[in-house]
Amino acid sequence: MEVEAARYEFDRAELLCTTHGLELDKNAVTIGRGWLEYEVAIVNEAGNLDKCEALLQMAYDRCQEVSQPFSHIEVLLALTWCAFFRGDHEMAERCLADATSLANGTSYSQLIAAVSVGRAALAQSRGSLTIAQDLYKDAQQLCKDSNSTQWEANAYAGLTGIYFHQRRLRDSTWADKKARRLAKRCGPMSTRLMQLSLSRSRQDSRFVPY
C-alpha cells in the first residue's frame, strides 16, 4: 500500500512537471522513482534492478543534455548503489568518481555527505575494512552535520558489519542500534531495508548496505 501510494504521488508530480514545462523538476521526480523501484526490488527480492536502472538511465541521459549538477550527482549516486548490488565494482567506482568530481566545490552538503558514504562503501566492497571504517566515521559526521539521516544510517550500517567481522561485538551492537534508530525516522521502507542490510552485513564483510 505504501509503495502504491508513493508511485501515485510520483505520477502526479510528473504530470504537473510536464504540464508546466518544469524539466529540471521532472528529472528529480524520475530519480526519486528510480530510488523507489530500487528499494522495492530489494525488499521484494526481485533479483534485478531493471525497472530502477531504466528510470535512472533516463535521468542520466537528461543530465547529459542539460546542465543540472544536483540531479547529475544524485543519479550517479543511485547508479553507484545499483552497481554495488550487481557486484560491478568498476562501474561503482566510475560513477562515484564522476559524482565526486561534480560535488567538489559545490554547496550541496547532503550530496557531499552521500558521496563520502559512497567512498567508504567502495573501500568496504574491496575488503579494505580499516580504510572503510575511517571513511565511514568521517562520512557519519558529514551526514549528521547536513541532516542526511538516510545516509547517516547507511554509514552506521557499514560500521556495524566492519566491527562485527573485527570481532568488536560491543561496537557492532552500538552501531546497529544507531542505524536502526535513524532508518526508522526515514519510514517503513527504510526500516525494512536496514533490517536486510544489517543481517547481510554479518554474513559478508564486503557487503555494502542497501
pLDDT at 17: 76
pLDDT at 6: 79
What are the tens digits of pLDDT across the range 161-176? 999 999 999 999 999 9
Q: Is the dihedral of CA 99, 63, 24, 209 positive or negative?
A: negative
Q: Round to whole Å and give the CA distance between 172 and 156.
A: 9
pLDDT at 178: 98
Q: For the whole model, what pTM was predicted?
A: 0.92
DSSP-derived letter for residue 66 is S
The CA–CA distances, whole Å, from 169 to 67, 82, 160, 200 equal 46, 29, 9, 16
pLDDT at 105: 86
pLDDT at 171: 98
What are the tens digits of pLDDT across the range 65-123? 888 899 999 999 999 999 999 999 999 999 999 999 999 989 999 999 999 999 999 99
Q: What is the phi/psi pair of residue 7, to 5°?
A: -60, -40
What are the tens digits of pLDDT across the range 4-37? 887 878 878 888 877 777 776 888 999 999 999 9
At 78, which amino acid appears? A
What are the tens digits of pLDDT across the range 119-153? 999 999 999 999 999 999 999 999 999 999 999 99
Q: Round to whole Å and give the CA distance between 118 and 62.
A: 23
What are the tens digits of pLDDT across the range 47-67? 789 999 999 999 999 998 888
pLDDT at 1: 57
Q: Which residue has the higher pLDDT, 199 or 21?
A: 199
User: Reduced to 3 states, what is the DSSP secondary structure of residue 21?
Assistant: coil
Phi-psi category of 45—alpha, beta or left, where left has phi over 0 and alpha has psi -120 to 50?
A: left
User: Reduced to 3 states, what is the DSSP secondary structure of residue 1?
Assistant: coil
